[in-house]
Every structure is written in structure tokens, then in C-alpha cells.
Amino acid sequence: MKKINLVLGIHNHQPVGNFDFVFEHAYKVAYKPFIEILAKHPKIKLAQHYTGVLFDWILKNHPEFLNDLKVLVDNGQIELITGGFYEPILAIIPDQDKLDQIKKLSDFIVENFGRKPVGMWLAERVWEQHIVKFIAMAGVKYVIIDDTHFRYAGLTGEQLLGYYITEEQGYTVNIFPISKMLRYTIPFQPVEKTIDYLREIATENGDRVVVYADDGEKFGVWPNTYKHVYEDGWLEEFFTALEENSDWINILHFSEVIEKIKPTGRIYLPNASYAEMMHWALPADAYLDYEKLEEHLKEEGMYEQYSRFFRGGFWRNFLVKYPEANNLHKKMLRVSDRARKLQSKGKDVNIALNKIWSAQCNDPYWHGIFGGLYLTNLRSTAYRNLISAENELDKVEGKKLIRYELTDFDKDGKEELIIESPNFNIYIDPNYGGQIFEFDFKPVEFNIADVMTRRKEGYHEKLLRLANEKNNPNNQGVASIHDMLLAKEEGLEKFLHYDWYKRGSLIDHFLGEGTTLENFYQCKYPEQGDFVDQPYVVNVNFKRNLLEVILSRDGNVWIDNQRKKIRVEKKITINKNSSDLFIEYKLENLEDEMLDLWFGVEFAYNFLAPDSSDRYFYFIGYELEDKRLKSMGIVDDVVSFGIVDEWLGLDMNFYLSKFANVWRFPLESISLSEAGFERVYQGSVMLLNWNIKLSKEWNVQIHKSFRLLKK
């Protein structure tokens, strides 16, 4: 009789910073019912991976579930596997953090289940060969990754029906390929399709091994899967079919495979993740070219034969594609390095390290067909954990300091200015308009400058096609079906606006005639200056408890097609003992004639909840019809305005030395999630602007204060 060895694995995860109701929903429709059905089938064995994030939530909200799991662990049905506690992309975090993250989850499993895990789930299956050393050092014997990685190494067919051993600097780890075929049949296709495939690959000597391992959320959380998997009985039928065919389908744990079957061979895999991830990592235009080539190969019947030579990008390119992800990553590295240096001096930094590890959770560092980086709650939580870690390290140092550093923070070969004080972290890019790209108010552990630039995504083409279909009277029926499946609201294509510069604060504009709030919001306005994204000269001065930063640029403004020279100088003053910030602008005319200018200073801030009544704009002397953070409008002749966030307990106020016109509008991205296209609030832009007749000099002071409110 032909036989096959089958290994099953389920990975369960929720991101750090996800909403509690999301955890609860996933628990009720996926995690709990899966285990309840598994318990009814004692002959079914599988590996289960729960991230530490999820274990923490379960321990707090449903501790009884851990008891149910332990019963299945004790009877041998479940083999728990480890990984990074907070599900980091292992390759991109510091080496000691790699070891500590794995140890933290392994220790949790030992403490709560009495078993030492020997296998590991690799977050998003992002593989780089150097991680082998650290996985082995953490006591892990095997890792589970996609067969895609093995295909890229040149393997195919029956070569993927086993497991391999790999090595780095003498350290070895076993690696199992996950069958792409089974990932697509389980649980989406009829049960018999999976059984037929297993029968097809079974052999007389029965030494082949095939692996299924995938996300537990596909068993109840994904759209329509709860009904399919549980109400319609797919999972019950699947487990029953495996039991009925147990004379030739031999279900093993990963650890049992290693004990009973020798590895197929030695292998070294290329840097890779699953195929979809590598597609998503490409820039928007390359993303579209990839799709076209993939479709062409399929039409020509060549895809199956040559797909192993067809690859997308590299995971780390998300840090290029999205500067916001890169900034978060580099801040994480900076804070981790600071903590380790203090640890090397004998300081206790464990509280800070746990917050840093939490901020290493992978989800806000990339974006595919799920929200990821575009979800402001995930980014904000990562920043909150890092700022909280910095506050802990400040306590460990026992000093209230104001300090600055000119350093290549984002690793692009140019220096950024990092300012740290008891109240603020302010990150400035002198080489890009002298703009502020991170502004942490440390008393509430919040980065108020955590905004996203609106940019083209490869999948936006699909949204535009849907809109065209809908507007075609011959396609009304088809378009409405697609609309229902792929768009969360009507007319999303009208919000596809792309920024030609990176959003931030202290961005200096010289607006051309014809600029309106609408075309400025769309980023299709006439810009007359060359200050927005160009280099500034930076100088820093200490005056007792004061730190002064002076950013200046001799640039140009085009008026009536003639270039006019202007100097812009902006001075930022920070007092170590104050939560106020003073900004002074000075414009200097370098021509011999008076110049008519329309000057604006842009600020962009994100307080997360655009519709909430506890977060709002206010303008002294004016009553706004709509004061929500998502509101759009103009208020003229303003001397004082601000934003209140009652949830944070913060009032951020601007007081101006000269009356200004203030424009405001929301930054909203159109991104893809598992439920379809959606509009996501990424922050609010405020443009302070003045009409100036500049003879020699003009200046304005902006006093920015932060007041903590009683909650």
C-alpha cells in the first residue's frame, strides 16, 4: 500500500496594538472552535504556534483556554512551537534581541505547559541565511518555511517532499518546506481534493513527508470562513477523512519526523519570503510589471514550469518603499542599542527591553493586502512602546538632560539632527526641507508626527478599473458585484491623491497664484519656491538650559517666470525645563526690489481618531461648524488655535505673533485590507500662511505649548 507522512501546523497571531475586540472576535470564531473540534479527534496531531502577544491576551482574558491547550499538549495531540515572542521579522532586529525574543516565548511555553519547544515559526517566513546561527543558539532544531524558498533554490516536485538541513558558521537547523498546494486547498477546497493530492504523492516505501502549515485566522476570521469551516462542517469532515484514511496517511509531529526520517539533504536557501510578500515589496511600477509578466506566463502555459525562476523583491525593500517604516525601524535600532549599552554597564534595563521587543512586532513595518503599516493604531503603539522604553532608560540614567546628535539616523548617507530632552524627542532632516519627521511628547509617550505620505500603490490600478466599469452603463451588474467585494465605500477613487514630497512639519512653501485649499489638499497646487524638499544649513547652540537650532537656506522663488533669491531662516528653541517650544521664522529678501510673496508653513500631526468627539480643533475667537480632525476648512486672521486630545489628556496650542490664515485638511490613504479597499486617516495637515510684501525682512514667532489635561 502506498503511504505518505503528513505534518500539520497552525500559526496564530494578532499584532501588538490591535484592538481588543479584534482579539476577542478571532478567539471566538477561530482559535477556540478549532481547538474544540481538534479535541474530538484524538488521532489528529498538529503543531500549534501562538505568538507571545496572543498568549498574553489569552492569559488575561481567557485563562481557561490555556488549560484546554495543556490537555491536548499532555495527550500528545499538540506540539507547541516557539518563535520571537512579539513576532518580529527576525532578520532585521539586533542579534541579542533575536535570542532574547525566542527565549522569552520558549520560557513561557515551559512555564505554562511543561514542554520545551524544539521547533519555530518564522514570522512571515522572511528568510536570510544569517539567522540560522541565532535560531540554533536559541536551542531550536527545526523551522517551517514555504516551499517557495526551496523552489528558488532550484528544487521542484518530489524534492520538496521531505526536509533539509542548513548551516551557518557551523550551526545547523532543520528546515521543512510548506506545501503551496496544501496552503491553497486547506481549508478552501473540498476535503476530497486534499485527500486526492495526498494519494497522488504517496509511495510504496512511504518515506515522503508533506507539510501543511498556515495561519489559524484562515479557519474562521477570514471572510466567510467561519460558516465554511465550522457551520458547514469542513474542519470536522477534514479530520474525519484523515482518520478514515489513517492506514496510509501517517500523521506525525515535526519532531517525530526528525527522529524517524533522515533529512533529504543539505541546502542553502536564498533570501526570500512567500511569493506574495516578495511581490508586495516591489515599488508600485515594478509591482504592476510583475503582475503583467506573471499573467503572460500563465497565458502561455509557462508559469508552472518556470515560476521558480520568477521572483519579486526583497523584504527589506519595504524600508525603502515606505520611509515611515524605515524611520520606525531605525528608531527601534537606536533605542535597543542605547539599552544594551546601559546593560553592559551593569544597569537593569529589563523593563525597557520588553517594551523594545514589543515594538519589534512585524506588522507596522510592511504592507501587502492587509493593513499593516497603514494601520495607524499599529504604528502608534510601536512608537509608544519605544518612547516608553526611552523614558525607562532616562530613569535608569537618572539624569534630566537636553542633548543633540547629528547622525545618519535613517542610513541614507546624510545626517539628521536628533534632539532629546525631558519632554521632547524632535527628529529633523536638514537635507529635506529642514522638516521635522518625528515629534515625541514624552509625558504622554506619543509621536504626534506619525503621519503617512500619500503614494501610489500598485493595486490602485484595480480600484480605477472598478470605477471605470461602474461608470460604463454596459457593465453595471458586474461593477456593482466587484464594488461590493472590493470597496468599503462608494467613490474611493476620488480620494487617490499622491504627494510629491514627504509629509512632515516645518515645511516651507511659497504658494503660486491660483492655489486653493482644494488643490493644495490634492497636492496639485503651484509651488513657487525650492524649499520644500531641498537642503538647509543647520547650526546648534547651547545657552544654559536652552538649545537653539537654526536652519537656513538661500533659495529661490519664481515670480512671473523670474527667479528671485530669498533666505529662509527658522529657529527652534527648546528649554530643558519647559514643555513649550518656540519657533521663529525670518524671511530675508536678497534682491533689490520688493517681492509679493504667499508664504506658508506646513504642520502635519496624527491624533488617530478623526471622527471622535474627544479629539478636535479649536480656534480662539471662532466657533467651528466641524471641529473633528477629519474636517477641512479655512479660518482667516488667526492668532491662536490648537488641537485637544482628551483621550491622551493633551492640549497642543499654537500662539502666533502675527495673524495668519490657517488651512486644514485630513491626510487619507486608500489602502487594501483583507476586507477590501478602504480610506484610512493618516493625520491632519495645517498650513499657516501669510501674504507678504517683502522689502528687506519679515518675521513671525510661533509659540507652541503642550498642556496636560486632567482625565
Domain spans, the chain: 4-271, 316-446, 460-495, 507-708
- Do the domains spanning 4-271 and 507-708 agree at the CATH topology level? no
Which of 56, 68, 215, 461 is flagged as catalytic? Answer: 215
- Burial class of residue 67, CB neighbours in 10 A (0-12, 13-18, 19+): exposed
Q: Catalytic residue at 168? A: no
What pLDDT is stored for residue 223 in this prediction? 86
Longest dimension (CA), the chain: 97
Angle between helices 52-61 and 63-74 (to 10 degrees): 120
What pLDDT is stored for residue 711 in this prediction? 67
Task: Check if CATH label 2.40.10.10 holds for domain 4-271.
Answer: no
| pLDDT, tens digit, 9 for 90 and up, residues 482-508 | 343 477 788 899 999 999 999 999 999
Which of 124, 392, 469, 602 is flagged as catalytic? Answer: 124
What pLDDT is stored for residue 203 in this prediction? 97
Phi, psi of 216 (to 5 degrees): -65, -20
In angstroms and rounded to an integer, the radius of gyration of the C-alpha atoms of the chain is 28
Report, as ranges of residue numbers, the positions in the chain whose pLDDT lies below 70: 470-485, 711
Q: Residue 555, by phi and psi: left (phi above 0), alpha (psi -120 to 50) or beta?
A: beta
Is pTM beyond 0.85? Reply is yes
What does the alpha-carbon distance between residue 9 and residue 81 come to, in Å, rounded to a whole number? 9
What pLDDT is stored for residue 478 in this prediction? 34
And the C-alpha cell for 260?
524517524
Give me the CATH topology for the region 507-708. Answer: Beta-galactosidase; Chain A, domain 5 (2.70.98)
What pLDDT is stored for residue 472 in this prediction? 64
What pLDDT is stored for residue 471 in this prediction? 65
> Do 405 and 418 contact (CB within 8 A), yes or no?
yes
What pLDDT is stored for residue 402 in this prediction? 93
Angle between helices 234-244 and 191-201 (to 10 degrees): 30
> Do 393 and 339 contact (CB within 8 A), yes or no?
yes
